[in-house]
Structure 1
Amino acid sequence: MKRLVGVVLFAFFIVVSVNGQEKQTLKFNNNRELKILQFTDTHTNIEKNKRVEVFEYIRKIVELEKPDLVVLTGDIATDGNPARTYDAFEKLFEEENLPWALVLGNHDSQADWNRQQVATYVQGLKNCLNADRADTDGGSNFVLPVYSSDNEKEALLYFMDSQAYSTLEPLVGGWGWFSHNQVEWYRAQSAQFTAQNNGKPFPALAFFHIPLPEYYAAWTNKDAKAVGRRIESECGPEINTGMFAAMVESGDVMGTFVGHDHYNDYIGVQYNIALAYGRVTKPREKRKQPIPGGRMIVLKEGQRAFDTWIRDVNGKKVYECKYPASFVSVRE
Structure 2
Amino acid sequence: MKRRDFLRGVTAATVPTLLGARAYAAGAGGDRHGDLLLRRLASDHLEVLFTPQRPRPLRVLQVADTHFHPGGETERTERTLRRLVESERPDLVVHSGDFVNNDSGEPVEWSGLDVMNGLGKPWTLCFGNHDYPVRNAEGSRSFEEIRLGMERGYQGHADLGDRRRYCYRYDLTNSEGGRPSACLFFFQVGYAEGDRRVSDDQLVWFVDQMSRDRERGVKAPITVFVHIPVREFNDLYQAGEAVGEHGEAVCYDSDTGETFRRLADTGRVSAVFCGHDHVNNFHGRWRGIELSYGRVSGWGAYGPADWRRGGRLITLDLASPRPETQHHEVFA
Task: Classify the TM-score, shorter chain.
Answer: 0.7 to 0.9
Does structure 1 retain, via aligned residues, the 8 Å contact 2:271–2:325? no
Does structure 1 retain, via aligned residues, the 8 Å contact 2:54–2:174? no
Shift of 1:73: 0.6
1:195 aligns with 2:215: yes
1:136-175 correspondence runs (5 A): 139-152=165-178, 153-167=180-194
1:9-88 correspondence runs (5 A): 17-18=24-25, 22-23=30-31, 24-25=37-38, 26-28=48-50, 30-46=54-70, 50-78=73-101, 80-88=107-115
Distance in 1 separating the partners of 2:60 and 2:191: 25
Q: Residues 129 and 238 of structure 1: is their aligned pair in 2 closer, same or farther, counting only changes over 3 Å? A: closer
Shift of 1:88: 3.2
TM-score computed with the length of structure 1 as normaliser: 0.76
Distance in 1 separating the partners of 2:233 and 2:84: 27
Cα-to-partner distance string for 1:162-204 (whole Å, 9 max, x where unaligned)? 222314xxxxxxx61222111111111122123322xx52111
1:224-239 correspondence runs (5 A): 225-239=241-255
Aligned partner letter, 2:227 = H
Aligned partner letter, 1:158 = F
1:187-266 correspondence runs (5 A): 187-197=207-217, 201-221=219-239, 225-240=241-256, 242-266=258-282
Q: RMSD of aligned C-alpha atoms? A: 2.8
* SS state at 1:193 partner: helix
1:264-275 correspondence runs (5 A): 264-275=280-291
Aligned partner letter, 1:144 = Y
Q: % of aligned pairs identical?
A: 24
Shift of 1:251: 1.8
Aligned residue for 1:330?
none
Aligned residue for 1:101?
124
Query: In structure 2, which of residues 289, 309, 314 is the aligned counterpart of residue 292 of structure 1?
Result: 309
TM-score computed with the length of structure 2 as normaliser: 0.76
Question: Which one is further off, 266-275 or 66-75?
Answer: 266-275
1:285-324 correspondence runs (5 A): 286-287=303-304, 290-301=307-318, 302-313=321-332
* SS state at 2:245 partner: coil
Does structure 2 retain, via aligned residues, the 8 Å contact 1:123–1:130? no
Shift of 1:287: 3.9
Does structure 2 retain, via aligned residues, the 8 Å contact 1:33–1:298? yes
Shift of 1:125: 3.3
* SS state at 2:219 partner: coil
Q: Which has the higher contact order (CA 8 A, sep 6+)?
A: 2
Does structure 2 retain, via aligned residues, the 8 Å contact 1:279–1:290? no
The size of the alignment, in residue pairs, is 282
Does structure 2 retain, via aligned residues, the 8 Å contact 1:45–1:52? no
Aligned residue for 1:325?
none
Unpaired segments ≥5 residues, structure 1:
1-15, 168-174, 314-332
Cα-to-partner distance string for 1:233-261 (whole Å, 9 max, x where unaligned)? 10012441611100111122111111000
Does structure 2 retain, via aligned residues, the 8 Å contact 1:105–1:162? yes
Does structure 2 retain, via aligned residues, the 8 Å contact 1:18–1:124? no
Shift of 1:49: 5.5
* SS state at 1:51 partner: helix
Distance in 2 separating the partners of 1:109 and 1:289: 29
